Amino acid sequence: MKILVTGGAGFIGSNFVHHMVKKYPEYEIVNLDLLTYAGNLESLRDIENEPNYKFVRGDIADRPFIMQLFEKERFDIVVNFAAESHVDRSITDPGIFVQTNVMGTQVLLDASKAYGVKRYHQVSTDEVYGDLPLDRPDLFFTETTPLHTSSPYSSSKASADLFVLAYYRTFGLPVTISRCSNNYGPYHFPEKLIPLMIIRALDDEKLPVYGKGENVRDWLHVEDHCAAIDLIIHNGRVGEVYNVGGHNERTNLEVVKTILKALDKPESLINYVTDRPGHDLRYAIDPTKLETELGWKPQYNFDTGIAQTIEWYLTHKEWWQRIVSGEYSNYFEAMYGERLK
C-alpha cells in the first residue's frame, strides 16, 4: 500500500505521518509538503531515514507537478492535510486560502481520478458548520448540520469539501471526509492558542486573549485524530463525512488558566485584546457516527492531554525555539540541499 500524505510537515500531518510510518512498516508513506511558514521537517527528524518513508517538496496547486508525481508513484490512498489554516491570516489575505485549499484540492482530485486512487480522504474542520450559541450546551454539530461559514478560512475548507463530494457524485471517485474539532498536542505551530500561551508564559510575557475569553472549543488530542483518520481510510464508507470530536469543551480563558496553573505562573499575565472579526462563539462535535460505525473512542481527556502537551513543550524547547527564531526554515536546505543538487 502506498499512501500520499499532503501537508505532512505541518502539525496534524506530521503526527499522522509518525502514526502511519510506525504502525504500518509494510506501507510506503510519501510526505508531500511545500514547506510554507507552518511546515517543519524537524518535526519528522526521528523517522526521516525509515525505509518506508519519503519526503517530496511541492505544491498541491501545481498541476503539472502533481500529475507527474501521481504518474510516477501510483498512490493507493491520498490523505489531504495540506491547507492554509490560520483564521487571522485568512482575514488578512483570503486569496492564498482559495489557491491552496480550493484549487489545490481540485488538482488532487483530478490526479486521483486520473490515476485510479482507491481512496481520497479530505481532512476538514468543524469550522465549516459555523458556530453554536453559548447558551445552548445541548446543541452539537452532526454530519447533517448545514454548512454556515464565518471566515475566509472556513469558507475555503467548505468549498473544498463540496468539490470532494461532487467528485464522488459525478465521477464515482472513492472519497471520505473528516471534520475535526480543535487539535492540540506535540509539534503544534507556536502561533496557535495552546503553544503560544505555553511559550509566552514560560517567558513571563503577556498572554493575548480575544474578547473576554468566553469562546468555547472542543479540544481533540492530535493522536486521537490520527487514529480516527486511520480508521476512516481503511474502513470508512465511501462518500461519507465523519465528525471527529474530543468531548472536551473549554472556554479559551479556561485553557489559558489551566496552562498558567500548570506552569505556576500568575493570572496577571492574561491580557484581553480586541476580539477577532466574526469570531465563532462555540464549537462542539457529536462523533456518534464515527464511534458507532468504526468503533473509535478518544484515548485522551483534556486534563491528561494538556498536561502531556505542556510537558512536551517543556522537554522540546529546541524545537519551538528554532521556530520562534526562524532557524527551522533552514533545516530543509541542511538536510536535503545536497541530495537535490
| pLDDT score for 339 | 46
CA distance 239 to 225: 20
- Label residue 292 by pLDDT band (50, 70, 90): very high
Residue 341 has pLDDT above 50, yes or no: no
How is residue 248 written as a grid cell? 472536551
**Active-site annotation holds for 275:** no
| pLDDT score for 323 | 87
**Active-site annotation holds for 161:** no
* Residue range 165-200, pLDDT digits in tens: 999 999 999 999 999 999 999 999 887 899 999 999
Of 33, 59, 84, 126, the active-site residue reads: 126
Q: What is the mean pLDDT of the chain?
A: 92
Of 127, 218, 224, 280, the active-site residue reads: 127
How is residue 265 written as a grid cell? 505562573
Give Cβ neighbours of residue 36 (< 8 Å, ≥ 6 apart).
84
- Label residue 135 by pLDDT band (50, 70, 90): confident
Strands 182-184 and 175-180: unpaired
Closest CA to 78 of 89, 87, 66: 66
Q: How far is CA 101 from the centre of its chain?
A: 13
* Residue range 39-55, pLDDT digits in tens: 899 999 999 999 999 99
Strands 77-80 and 182-184: unpaired
What predicted TM-score, i.e. pTM, was given to this entire model?
0.92
Closest CA to 120 of 110, 109, 135, 130: 109
